[in-house]
Structure 1
Amino acid sequence: MSTTTAVVPLTIQDAETLVAAARYTAEGAGVAVSVTVLDAGGHLLAFRRDDRAVLISGETSTRKAYTALQLGAPTRDLVDAVQPGGPFHTLPTALDRPLLFIADGRPVHRDGRLIGAIGVGSGAPEQDHGFATAAVETLA
């Protein structure tokens, strides 16, 4: 008899909900953003860059999501850890796939289990954090 409970993975419908919620919140603040959603394996489920979002925000939103997924924490919470003398100081350059420690990539959990991540880019760090947080709260 198994005591493990299956957790429903992040679905494309979930990913589209996350993208829509982040964009809706950003539009309300007058900010054009890029939004990336990755599944638990780090695979792209959804991506959207607003026409007016800076081009680099597509890359930064993806790297933020990947960083949040790999470390299981919001990227905003990890910024101090990669500063000189921090426990992860060399981490940004230690891997083949670059991590990005700027707010905000957020892990996405369901029933206490990590099922994916979202990254938002183009606004100020605190704005992106708010947009990603609002999106994750739609799945709660």
Structure 2
Amino acid sequence: MKTKAILGHTDVIQVLDAAHQEAERQGWAVTIAVADDGGHLLGLRRLDGAAPFSAEVATHKARNAAVGRKETQVFEDMINGGRTAFVSAPLTGMLTGGVPIVVDGQVVGSVGVSGVKPEQDVQVAKAGVSAIG
């Protein structure tokens, strides 16, 4: 039987805290979502001033990064690059800002961030990912 790492409660808090600190350092009002490897929400933190809809967008980004096993920017780039048929994929919110958390070569979860420019969302998400491992 195979075994794999999973995100525990402490891990989720560490990811949220690291992403939160990066967003505050930059002065960005964002929402940060952490999902397990199946895309199920484990934690959500909406910073002061973040738009209410950013909570749903961040959650979708986290889900897509987890179940797609790659950064959501890949999906957005595919669509923007002309592969418009990918819009029919069973994913919602295929926007830049979702980053998988990989441990020992396995996706164990993901971080989704929404609220600022796409590259800034990714910066915050990657700060959260860096808290694991």
Is 1:108 the counterpart of 2:101? The answer is yes
1:131 aligns with 2:119: no
Match of 2:4 in 1: 7
Distance 1:94 1:17 in 2: 32
Whole-angstrom distance in 1 between the partners of 2:86 and 2:8: 30
Task: Note the C-alpha offset of 1:67.
Answer: 1.1
The number of residue pairs the alignment matches comes to 133
Which aligned segments of 4 or more residues in structure 1 are displaced greater than 6 angstroms? Answer: none
Gaps of at least 5 residues in structure 1 are none
Matches of 2:41 and 2:8, distance apart in 1: 11
- TM-superposed deviation, 1:80: 1.8
1:48 to 42, 45, 48: 45
The TM-score with structure 1 as length reference comes to 0.87
- Picking from 13, 18, 30, the partner of 1:16 is 13
Q: Which residue identity is paired with 1:22?
A: A
Matched-pair identity in %: 33
Give CA-to-partner distance per residue, 1:21-62, whole Å, 9 cap, x none.
Answer: 111000000011101111112221101111310111101100
Give the match for residue 35 of structure 2.
38
Q: Cα distance, 1:91 vs. partner?
A: 3.3
Q: For 1:20, what is the secondary structure of its paired residue?
A: helix
2:86 to 82, 91, 96: 91
In 1, the alpha carbon distance for the partners of 2:69 and 2:89 equals: 18
Are the counterparts in 1 of residues 97 and 114 from structure 2 also a CA contact under 8 Å?
yes
Which residue type is aligned with residue 129 of structure 1?
V
Residues in 2 aligned to 1:10 and 1:44: alpha-carbon distance in whole angstroms: 11
Instruction: Determine if contact 1:10/1:39 at 8 Å carries over to the other structure.
Output: yes
Alignment gaps of 5+ in structure 2: none
Supply the distance in 1 between the matched residues of 2:64 and 2:87 (Cα, whole angstroms).
9
Per-residue CA distance 1:87-125 (angstroms, 9 max, x = gap): xx2333442xx4222221011111111111110110111
**Equivalent residue of 2:50, what SS?**
coil
The alignment yields a C-alpha RMSD, in angstroms, of: 1.6
User: SS at the partner of 2:67?
Assistant: helix
> Does residue 61 of structure 1 match 2:62?
no
Amino acid at match of 2:116: G
